[in-house]
Amino acid sequence: MYTGKLVFAQLMEHLPLHTFRRCVAKYAGTYPTLTFSHLDQFLCMVFAQLTYRESLRDIETCLRAQSSKLYHLGIRGGIARSTLAGANESRDWRIYQDFAYALIHIARRLYAEDGFGVELKQTAYALDSTTIDLCLALFPWARFRKKKAAVKLHTLLDLRGNIPAFIHISDGKLHDVNVLDQMMFEAGSFYVMDRGYVDFDRLYALHQTQAFFVIRAKSNLQYRRVYSRPIDKSTGLRCDQTILLTGAKTSQDYPVQLRRVKFYDVEHDRLLVFLTNNFDLPALAIAQLYRRRWQVELFFKWIKQHLRIKAFFGTSENAVKTQVWIAISAYVLVAIIKKCLKSEASLYTILQILSLTLFDKTPLIQLLTETPLASEDLTMANQLNLFEK
């Protein structure tokens, strides 16, 4: 019988705790930590994410039911609903933001060589946002409309491994395009966006960083064709043009040439028009790259379905951001473990397995892969064989 660490403790072994301590020291506060440390708070919240807890009382009840095992989980402080609520309200959410980015850095290195359906050496990102509706009476700081509140999760997804490389949490009123002002663009990388991000002044600023964008054009685009390249219409392509913008404002905001690619999507029976500042990739690759933008939509759908980011354990801005960043940390941690153990299981399958086995002592590699556990021979020499004649 395996008598090693609990599954939850095995998971937490993949956390860079020295980095976590640096994040805590960076945002030192006055909230008491002797009886309930930042790590205790983080572990309790990760437990809530992995086991789909519904409330602070739910977290307290479940952990107290396993009180004899808490020390082995890494939780040293006492578990109380009021203590956890106070920690979420008072401890700086930026601790968990910085730690999530540290985990993201590890995960992106692990997935750097993975393919994503397009033959591309450079890094490719998909940018989009999702809105999480809230109750205005409980979350007045997140006013969205007259009678509604909401927060927006703006996410830049690395298409190699579907790891979020940049996340910004805002109230629901922030327009998507404004998040471009807060991003640092990597020279040579591709940024794939929907037409909600069309702002030629900002796109020109991106162009000047020597990064590339692929964006869906709006129907009222004013332009002049400079040159047309030959295409193969059997691939779905309809045109591949070099253009100059002719609008009174857009021609000043983006004064250099653009590439315009039109593609017919047979599956959905629609014409799509893309703009890009890259003139080297084949036109079909531009269309394929935009299709991969749907990975960020799937990411939003996945985390909303499988992580606790739609129902919050606290109502303050600090508590909401703390919970979202710890949820992102849990997602990235599972992705790291999947890669480290070379598991073929999906993230959904891994989460389902973990939700039922956190207090078991089964080795992770046995749970998440098909590798059998090398068990000891427990047969005793003097034990009678039940079926012996």
The last residue of one of the domains, among 281, 304, 333, is: 281
d(CA 386, CA 383): 9
Task: Give me the helices (H) in the chain, please.
Answer: 7-12, 17-26, 38-51, 56-65, 70-73, 81-90, 94-110, 200-208, 250-253, 283-291, 294-306, 317-340, 347-357, 364-368
Token couple for 214: 């692929």
Is 377 part of a structural domain of the chain? Answer: no
From residue 138, alpha-carbon distances to 67, 75, 248, 309 in Å are: 32, 30, 45, 16
Buried/exposed 181-198: b ≥16 CB within 10 Å, e otherwise: eebebeeebbbbbbeebb
Is 30 part of a structural domain of the chain? Answer: yes
d(CA 211, CA 209): 5
d(CA 352, CA 354): 6
- Tell me: do 319 and 253 sit in the same domain: no
d(CA 79, CA 58): 11
d(CA 299, CA 307): 11
Cα-Cα-Cα-Cα dihedral of 323, 328, 332, 338, to 10°?
A: 70
The per-residue pLDDT for 38 is 92
Residue 261 and residue 243 in contact, taking contact as beta carbons nearer than 8 Å: no
On the CB side of 277, CA atoms within 13 Å amount to 23
Is 340 part of a structural domain of the chain? Answer: yes
- Tell me: do 33 and 81 sit in the same domain: yes
Is 57 part of a structural domain of the chain? Answer: yes
The per-residue pLDDT for 32 is 64
Cα-Cα-Cα-Cα dihedral of 35, 41, 43, 48, to 10°?
A: 130
- Tell me: do 338 and 276 sit in the same domain: no
Is 350 part of a structural domain of the chain? Answer: yes
Query: Kind of pairing, strands 163-171 and 143-145?
Result: unpaired
Is 353 part of a structural domain of the chain? Answer: yes
Is 20 part of a structural domain of the chain? Answer: yes
- Chain position carrying tokens 């004649």: 389
Q: Measuring CA to CA, which residue among 97, 79, 28 is closest to residue 318?
A: 97
Residue 144 and residue 152 in contact, taking contact as beta carbons nearer than 8 Å: no
Beta bridge partners of 163: 158
Token couple for 24: 């805590």
**What residues contact 196, with CB distance under 8 A and at least 6 apart?**
176, 177
- Tell me: do 335 and 265 sit in the same domain: no
Domains contained in the chain, number: 2
The last residue of one of the domains, among 259, 281, 303, is: 281
- Tell me: do 275 and 332 sit in the same domain: no
The per-residue pLDDT for 3 is 62
Mean pLDDT per 10-residue section of the chain, whose length is 389 residues: 78 94 86 81 93 90 88 83 91 95 95 87 93 89 87 94 92 91 94 94 96 94 94 92 94 96 90 95 93 90 83 90 94 94 88 90 86 41 37
Tell me the residue range of the domain where 244 lies: 195-281
Is 302 part of a structural domain of the chain? Answer: no
- Chain position carrying tokens 């020291």: 25
- Tell me: do 273 and 204 sit in the same domain: yes
d(CA 49, CA 329): 10
